[in-house]
Structure 1
Amino acid sequence: MIPVQGYDGRKVAVLGLGRSGLATARALQAGGAEPVLWDDSPEARARAEAEGFACTDLGRDAAWQGVVLLVTSPGIPHLYPAPNRHIARAMALGVPVDNDIGLFFRSWAVADWQDFDLVPKVVAVTGSNGKSTTTALIHHILQVIGRPTQMAGNIGRGVLDLDPATDGEVVVLELSSYQTDLARALTPDVAVFTNLSPDHLGRHGGMGGYFAAKRRLFAEGGPDRAVIGVDEPEGVYLANQMAEGPADDRVIRISAGQKLEGEGWTVFARKGFLAEWRKGKQVAAIDLRAIQGLPGAHNHQNACAAYAACRSLGLPPRLIEQALTSFAGLPHRSQTIASRGGVRFVNDSKATNVDSAAKALQAFPRIRWIAGGLGKEGGIGGLVPFLGSVTKAYLIGHSARDFALEIGTTPHEICETMEAAVTRAATEAEPGDTVLLAPAAASFDQYPDFEKRGEHFAALVAALPDHAG
């Protein structure tokens, strides 16, 4: 646990008692603060009370007496589409609003660090797609090399649940736009921006607000190194904003698909090969094609981001390459779960939007595509250019029939359920095919989250008869 500093003996309200909210309450208490807890859900309040915390209704004016800070969970809106009523009340009273990420950056460093030989560092990763894989990949590389490391944020543990730093440790954080948008302190040593595509637009008031939330990690944080994907205009702009000149190697530009030119520090992947250039000269190259845990151009971009972050920490290319080869991938993200009769089964349940599904569809030849669920605004018409490798689509869930109308002449079958889709795809698959779950939709029509959807897919594949495929 990271005890929160700066609030000893003072009242701090905590809104939202999920994983991050309860971790925040514990960390505040450990730092000597008096946490005032509330969640509109009776079940959440019961969990907090089971830990010995008292809950106080923030809807009552008396609850705000003496409160000096409100810490809110990331899922609770503070501006768009409308502020939560408790957050609006805090702002009206002049009570600062923060989140656990802000408290972490204010509390991570302690006096004991003066006795360390190597000061601990924080690598923070944000972006639309690939940030979980990039975060896990950096963490994996550090583990393999033997550097002390912890991983937290939007993946794994809550940030205030981390253990206090050890000598030379590197904490790797995945940060969503919900987390970067509100944090009052953002001071990573290395900040990573993977890419940008439309998502969470209602929460951020449009694309500009969404990008602004990501940009705060760099503009507010002032990292020593900035690793920035430049395959979209926003990334090009951000890299330009951060650099003092063409040769400023505090900025490492990365790409999946284009050779990056100039005198600066760049890492890019083309045709399956990662290349690092500095001062106009190539200094390293890695063949990514045989790494099963990193299939496709989108994962090669993740590899570039992780490689660049680790290089900025002083790690040598050869050791990074060795660690990359042992990366198995993350569950539900282009994860190969089985190979049966020459047929590969890939679980990319995390591909919940058009952009992430498009990347998955470009990663494999001869795809039998399982898609559908609770469709998002705009549909999946944007995927039509990427359906050339799809032998047949097996459509499930609430949006199955809508998806069928949008995929043009691509052969398809409306299966409704995951069970039917897996059975049909496995029965019809031939050696060399990939049965790919890349839904391009949310899971909430049939599953509580994308993890449960992916787990169901994996369980059905595991239960297939030996002759399937």
Structure 2
Amino acid sequence: MIPVRGYQGQKVAVLGLGRSGLATARALAAGGAEALLWDDSPEARAKAEAEGFSLTDLTRATALDGVAALVTSPGIPHLFPRPHPIIARALEAGVPVDNDIGLFFRSWATPDWDRFDTPPRAVCITGSNGKSTTTALIHHILQVAGRPTQMAGNIGRGVLDIDPPQDGEVVVLELSSYQTDLARALTPDVAVFTNLSPDHLDRHGGMGGYLAAKARLFTAGGPDRAVIGVDEVEGRFLADQIGQGPQDDRVIRISSGTKLEGFGWSVFARKGFLSEWRKGRQMASIDLREVKGLPGAHNHQNACAAYAACRSLGVAPKLIEQALHSFAGLPHRSQLVGERNGVRFVNDSKATNVDAAAKALQAFPKIRWIAGGLGKEGGIAALQPLLGAVVKAYLIGHSARDFALQIGETPHEICETMERAVARAAEEAQPGEVVLLAPAAASFDQYPNFEKRGEDFTARVRALTGG
């Protein structure tokens, strides 16, 4: 646990009692603060009470009197589309509003660090897609390199729940736009921006607000190194804004598909090869084509981001290459879950929208595509130009018939259930093909979440393959 510093003997309100809220409450108590806890959900309140916490009804008009700060969970709106009523009252009263990320950055450095040979460092990753894979990959590379490391944030443990860092440790944090938008302190040593595509626009008042929320990771505290994906104009703009010209090697530009040779420091992947360039010279190259845990151009971008972050921490290219080959991938994200008779089975249940499914469909040459679920606005018509590699589609769930009308001349079969889709795809697949679950839809028609959908696919594949 990271005890929260700066609030000893003061009252701090905590709104939202999920994973991060309860971790915040414990960390505040450990730092000597009095935490006033509340959640709108009776179930969440009951769970907190079962763990021994006492509650304070923050909806009362006087509940924030004498409170030093209000700490809110990421899922609770603080500005758009409208502030939560308790947050609105805090804003009216001038009570500082923060989140666990802000508390972490004001608290994790302690006088104990004076005894360390190497101060701990924080690597923070944000972006629209690839955050989790990049975060897990950096953590994995550091482990292979023998560096002490912990992973937290939007993946794994809550940031205040981690152990106090030891000498030379690297804490790797995945941060969503909800987290970067509100944190009052953001001082990473290395900050990574993967990419940007429309998401959470209601929470940020449009694309401009969404980009601004991400950009705070780079502008609020100023990292020593910034790793920026420049495949979209927003990334190029961000790199330009924080750099002092193309030769400024504090900014490491990364790309999947574009040569970046004219910069002080860059890492890019083309035709399956990752290249590192510094001051006009190639420093290293890695063949990514046989890295099974990172298939496709989108994962090659993740590899570039992780490589750049770890190089900025002094990890040798050969160690990074070794770690890339031993990285198994994250569950439900281009995850290889089985092979049989030359056919690979890949679980990308996290591909819940068209953009994510598009990346998965471009990762393999011959695909038996399992898609469907609860379709989103616009359906999957935008995927038509990317279906050239699809040998056949096997459509499931609520939107199966709608999807069938939107995929043009692509051969397809209405399977309805995962059980039938996996069985039919496995029966018809030929050596060299990939059976790919990339639903391009939400899971809520048949499953409580995308994880359960992916677990169902994985279990049925392993029953077939004996895995």
| TM exceeding 0.5 | yes
Q: Which residue of 2 aligns with 1:247?
A: 247
Greater mean alpha carbon deviation, residues 448-457 or residues 117-126: 448-457
Structure 2 equivalent of residue 361 of structure 1: 361
**SS of the residue 2:62 aligns to:** helix
Q: Deviations over 1:55-98 (max 9, x none)?
A: 11111113222112111110111111221112112112211111
**For 1:269 and 1:194, how far apart are their aligned partners in 2?**
14
2: CA distance between counterparts of 1:22 and 1:320? 36
2:168 partner letter: G
CA 1:465–1:345 in structure 2 vs 1: closer, same or farther (change >3 Å)?
Answer: closer
Give the Å deviation of 1:442. Answer: 1.8
Aligned counterpart, 1:329: 329
Does 1:41 pair with 2:41?
Answer: yes
Residue 23 in structure 1 maps to residue 33 in structure 2: no
Quick one: distance in 1 between partners of 2:73 and 2:121?
A: 25
- Asked whether the equivalents of residues 127 and 196 of structure 2 are also in contact (C-alpha less than 8 Å), the reply is yes
Instruction: State the match for 1:426 in structure 2.
Output: 426
Q: Secondary structure at the match of 2:269?
A: strand
Q: Which residue of 2 aligns with 1:195?
A: 195
CA-CA distance at 1:420 after TM superposition: 2.0
**Worse-matched range after superposition: 57-66 or 357-366:** 57-66
Residue identity matched to 1:206: G
Deviation for aligned residue 1:204 = 1.4
Instruction: Indicate conservation of the 8 Å contact 2:8/2:32, yes or no.
Output: yes
Q: Distance in 1 between matches of 2:452 and 2:25?
A: 28
> Which of 250-259 and 46-55 deviates more?
46-55
Q: How does 1:233-272 map onto structure 2 within 5 Å?
A: 233-272=233-272
Residue aligning to 1:118: 118
CA offsets 1:349-405 (integer angstroms, 9 cap, x no match): 111121111111111121111111222233222211211100111122222222222
- CA distance in 2 between counterparts of 1:52 and 1:458 reads 38
Distance in 1, matches of 2:144 and 2:101, equals: 27
The gaps in structure 1 that reach 5 residues or longer are: none
Partner of 2:74: 74
Q: 1:246-278, CA deviations, whole angstroms, 9 ceiling, x for partnerless residues? A: 210000000000111313101000011000001
Query: How many Å separate the matches in 2 of 1:347 and 1:59?
Result: 43
Q: CA deviation at 1:417?
A: 1.8
Equivalent residue for 1:463? 463
1:290 corresponds in structure 2 to: 290
Give the deviation of 1:318 after TM superposition.
1.4
Which deviates the most, 369-378 or 289-298?
A: 369-378
Q: Is the 8 A contact 2:98 2:183 kept in 1?
A: yes
SS of aligned partner of 1:124: strand
Deviations 1:321-355 (A, max 9, x none): 11111111111110100001221100011111211
| Residue 132 of structure 2 is aligned to residue 132 of structure 1 | yes
Matched letter for residue 68 of structure 2:
V
In structure 1, what is the equivalent of residue 409 of structure 2?
Answer: 409
Q: Matched residue of 2:311: which SS? A: helix
- Please list every run of 5 or more consecutive structure 2 residues that lacks an aligned counterpart in the other structure: none
Other-structure match for 2:226: 226
State the TM-score, normalizing by the size of structure 1.
0.97
Give the whole-Å Cα distance in 2 for the aligned partners of 1:76 and 1:324.
36
**TM-score, length-scaled by structure 2:** 0.98
Aligned residue in 1 for 2:87:
87
Secondary structure class of the residue paired with 1:285:
strand
Code of the residue aligned with 2:141 in structure 1: it is: I
RMSD of Structure 2 on Structure 1 (CA): 1.3
CA distance in 2, matches of 1:307, 1:83: 39
Aligned residues: 467
Contact (CA 8 Å) 2:230, 2:253: kept in 1 or not? yes
> Aligned partners of 1:414, 1:78: CA distance in 2, in Å?
43
CA shift for structure 1 position 465: 7.2
Does the 8 A contact of 2:343 with 2:435 survive in 1?
A: yes
Structure 1 window deviating more from structure 2 (390-399 vs 148-157): it is 390-399
Letter of the 1:11 partner, please give it: K
Instruction: Give the residue type in structure 1 aligned to 2:100.
Output: D
The answer on whether the counterparts of 2:294 and 2:300 sit within 8 Å (CA) in structure 1 is yes
Once residues 255 and 240 of structure 1 are traced to their aligned partners in structure 2, the CA distance between those partners, rounded to angstroms, is 15
For residues 84-140 of structure 1, the C-alpha deviation after alignment (integer angstroms, 9 at most, x for no partner) is: 112112112211111111111111100100100001000000111111111001000
SS at 1:387 equivalent: helix
Q: Which residue does 2:162 correspond to in 1? A: 162
Secondary structure of residue in 2 paired with 1:228: strand
- Match of 1:220, as an amino acid? A
Greater mean deviation of Cα atoms: 223-232 or 53-62: 53-62
> Are the aligned partners of 2:338 and 2:465 in contact in 1 as well (CA < 8 Å)?
no
Identical pairs, percent: 80
Q: What is the distance in 2 between the residues matched to 1:55 and 1:375? A: 40
Corresponding residue for residue 450 of structure 2: 450
- Which piece of structure 1 moves more, 112-121 or 310-319? 310-319
The runs of 4+ residues in structure 1 deviating greater than 4 Å are none
Q: Which amino acid aligns with 1:341?
A: N
Corresponding position: 1:313 with 2:313: yes
2:194–2:305 CA contact under 8 A, matched in 1: yes
- Once residues 276 and 376 of structure 1 are traced to their aligned partners in structure 2, the CA distance between those partners, rounded to angstroms, is 39
Question: What is the alpha-carbon distance in structure 1 between the residues aligned to residue 171 and residue 465 of structure 2?
Answer: 43
SS in 2 for 1:464: helix
Question: For residue 148 of structure 2, what is the aligned residue in structure 1?
Answer: 148
Q: Which residue of 2 aligns with 1:345?
A: 345
Q: Secondary structure at the match of 1:238?
A: helix
Structure 2: distance between partners of 1:423 and 1:158 = 39
Letter in 2 for 1:355: D
